[in-house]
Amino acid sequence: MPRNKVAWRRLVFVVLIIASLALLTVSFRETDSGPVHAIQQAGVSMLSPLQTWGARAAKPFQDGYTWIRTLWSAHEEAERLAAELQQLQGEAAKLREQAEENERLRGLLEFQDKGTFPEGTEFVAARVIGKSPTRWEAWIEIDKGTADGIQIDQAVVGATPSASASLSGKGLVGKVVSVYPHMARVQLITDAESSVAAKIQGPRAEGIIVGSVSGQLTMDYVDRDILVDPKRIIVTSGYGGVYPPAIPIGIVANVGEEDVSAYKEIEVQGFVDFRVLEEVMVLIVPAAANGDSTATTFSPTTSTSSPASTGSTTSTTSTNSTTTTTLTSTRQ
């Protein structure tokens, strides 16, 4: 009798393993609209109100914790801000010079005057209601979805609570990778699967900013012949069609070169502190504005997330997928 019991347990165990593997296989093989994904989406939709309530309930506690932590590091913060202010005053003087120069150049080149974001851009403010549970992926969930006009591949920007009137703390967060009626998932630029085409202000060096599992941002594919100084501001280049141009991303933290590589590898310190993001803004850019950037032939900015890791509602345009594939093979 005990022998039968053991056999029964082993049989159940093997059946469960086979069931798990079958689910895995079906999940991988079926399309985004398949039944398994539909069930998952229904489950996520059911839980999204719970996450919204959780976010609201946790807010006072998070605020309290942030307040205590801020108080604790107030002195250190003051010193850091004083140093930052000094640096920014210098930057501001330089920027004024550049702005005047830009005005002249703008007149000469008949460029259309535009702000940081393309003209006609609409902003949808959203609250962060969930975050990725592991470092393998870096994403946030927001409380706005298709009902608010959110669509896949829209760029998302944010400001950390400590953001001042300066550029510090404000910048690119990521892009929408899956969307539901009242929530959406945003792939952060620190995600290992993310890549963003960027430019360094000053030398105008172009490259691609990639994330990593450790959360470190690295700018790759920067021509090694271009001189890049630390502290230079990095912005999106607008190539690829997902991220509009001139959105601040971060500053050059460290510049690395290897004799065997044709490119510099630049460590980037992001403007946004992703650990304390609470609100973000989704950019709804007019199609015409995006069309300008996609018309260029420079390689590829958008990340392609594997369906398995981000949920299969993720989609990117075929152009983006193709260019990213090309890039990957170049890296290898």
Is residue 62 involved in binding other proteins (CB under 8 A)? yes
- Provide the token pair at 53: 């309530």
CA dist., res. 123 & res. 245, Å (int): 16
**Which amino acid, residue 224?**
R
Q: Determine which residue in the list 1, 6, 165, 295 makes contact with other proteins, applying CB under 8 A.
A: 6
Q: Determine which residue in the list 166, 309, 321, 322 makes contact with other proteins, applying CB under 8 A.
A: 309
Q: How far is CA 222 from the centre of its chain?
A: 20
Q: What is the closest distance, in whole angstroms, from the C-beta atom of residue 283 to other proteins in the complex?
A: 23
Q: In the window 264-293, what residues touch other proteins (CB under 8 A)?
A: 275
Going by C-alpha positions, the residue among 178, 173, 186, 99 that lies closest to residue 139 is 186
Please work out the total of residues on this chain that contact other proteins, with binding judged by CB under 8 A. 54
On whether the CB atoms of residues 152 and 313 are closer than 8 A, the answer is: yes
CA dist., res. 83 & res. 107, Å (int): 36
Closest CB to other proteins among 175 and 199? 175
Q: What is the closest distance, in whole angstroms, from the C-beta atom of residue 18 to other proteins in the complex?
A: 10
Q: Detail the DSSP E strand segments found in 14-137.
A: 122-131
On whether the CB atoms of residues 141 and 184 are closer than 8 A, the answer is: yes
Is residue 153 involved in binding other proteins (CB under 8 A)? no
Closest CB to other proteins among 33 and 164? 33
| Residue written as token pair 């006009």 | 149
Contact range with other proteins by CB under 8 A, out of 45-53, 224-232, 264-272, 277-285: 45-53
Binding-site ranges for other proteins (CB under 8 A)? 5-6, 8-9, 12-13, 16-17, 19-28, 36, 39-40, 43-44, 47, 50-51, 53-55, 57-58, 62, 130-131, 133-137, 178, 185, 191-193, 212-214, 275, 305-306, 308-311
